[in-house]
Amino acid sequence: MLGILNYSATLITLAATLALFSLGLNLQWGMAGLVNFGHVSFMALGSYTTVLLTLSGVVWYVAAPIGATVAAALGLLIGLATLRLREDYLGIVTIGVAELLRLVIKNERPLGWLTRGDFGIQNFPKPFWPNPQTNPLFGWLTPDQYPWVLLAVVLGVLLGTLALLQRLTRSPWGRVLRAIREDEAVVTALGKNVFAFKLQAFVLGGAFAGLSGAFYAWHLRAVYPSNFMPEVTFQAWMIVAIGGAGSHWGVLVGAAVFQLYNSLPRFLPEIGPGRTEAIQIMLIGLTLIAVMIWRPQGLLGKKAELTLNK
């Protein structure tokens, strides 16, 4: 029974991490209309930065914000170079940057002293891990309690991020972003600096994704280049599409639905090599088709703000 509860905690932790990651994409796409097909690059950079800093002796609650800041800096560089491009070109550039970053991490040779290439990084200090030598503050915990403490922290960060985004959405800044998404020519005519608003949304979304990378590493307890393949970005796109672009609460619902399908093969009887996973992909695909037909704005999205036909 305890094993099932701990496993459930790890599933919810992963769902919350994906929700935090997808909130960054929702800010970029759902709020500002920025097509980002390389969102996973921010998660990868935040994850590796946090892990490498903790290996250098930096405490986790300092390392994670630094990782988010480094991811935001990458967003600033990408944004300065690409945000004047059209939507399709922006998508091509962002996915290219993400793959470039992953391949650099994968092929860091001949030294291999930093990212360790395909071997990945495993033995790094983890927050709340019950080891009095490396983590005296939480040394009293047991390994069975670690998933629950990590879950509590990631849920706290997720709710704090959600509250911040909800406040930003209702602010004049958020209303300008929505106007840019609908028709940036009108916003430009009204005297607003469209490029600056786009850049702010892109950088802030990258910071949230970088912060999710820290929790992703702590959840997996290891980081490898294969953890940050392009499909991770499209998982976030599925979550945003299911929940509703522009709806932050919808992202949470989409992450829960996606994680339900993602964990389903573990509870089904094995019906052949790869067949259970195929059923999982089919269910996700059918859900997306159903949402696009009957609720194209997403489960919690508003039809008045639908921009898929833009």
Q: What is the mean pLDDT of the chain?
A: 87
Give yes or no for residue 190 having a pLDDT over 90.
no
Name the band, by pLDDT with cuts 50, 70 and 90, for residue 268.
Answer: low
Report which of residues 307 and 265 the model is more confident about.
265
Give Cβ neighbours of residue 164 (< 8 Å, ≥ 6 apart): none
Give yes or no for residue 110 having a pLDDT over 60.
no
| Selection from 18-27, 135-144, 272-281 with the highest mean pLDDT | 18-27
Name the band, by pLDDT with cuts 50, 70 and 90, for residue 306.
Answer: low
Report whether 203 contacts 88 (CB < 8 A). Answer: no
pTM (2 d.p.)? 0.91
User: Mean pLDDT across the stretch 211-231?
Assistant: 94
Backbone angles phi, psi at 9, to 5 degrees: -65, -40
For the ranges 10-24, 86-100, 256-270, which has the lowest average pLDDT? Answer: 256-270
Give yes or no for residue 309 having a pLDDT over 60.
no
State the pLDDT at residue 185. Answer: 87
The DSSP letter of residue 118 is G
State the pLDDT at residue 133. Answer: 63
- In total, the chain counts a number of residues equal to 310
> CA torsion angle for 235, 240, 243, 249 (degrees, to 10)?
120
Give yes or no for residue 307 having a pLDDT over 60.
no
pLDDT above 70 coverage of the chain, percent: 88
**Domain extents in the chain:** 2-229
Q: How far, CA to CA in Å, does 186 sit from each of 28, 33, 84, 255, 269? A: 19, 15, 16, 34, 56
Q: How many Cβ atoms sit within 10 Å of the Cβ of residue 18?
A: 26
Give yes or no for residue 88 having a pLDDT over 50.
yes
Give yes or no for residue 97 having a pLDDT over 90.
yes
Name the band, by pLDDT with cuts 50, 70 and 90, for residue 219.
Answer: very high
Angstrom distance (rounded) from CA 9 to CA 15: 10
Q: Which ranges constitute the DSSP H helices of the chain?
A: 2-25, 40-55, 60-82, 87-106, 146-170, 172-189, 194-220, 230-243, 248-263, 275-294
| Selection from 98-107, 132-141, 278-287, 300-309 with the highest mean pLDDT | 98-107
User: Mean pLDDT across the stretch 248-256?
Assistant: 94
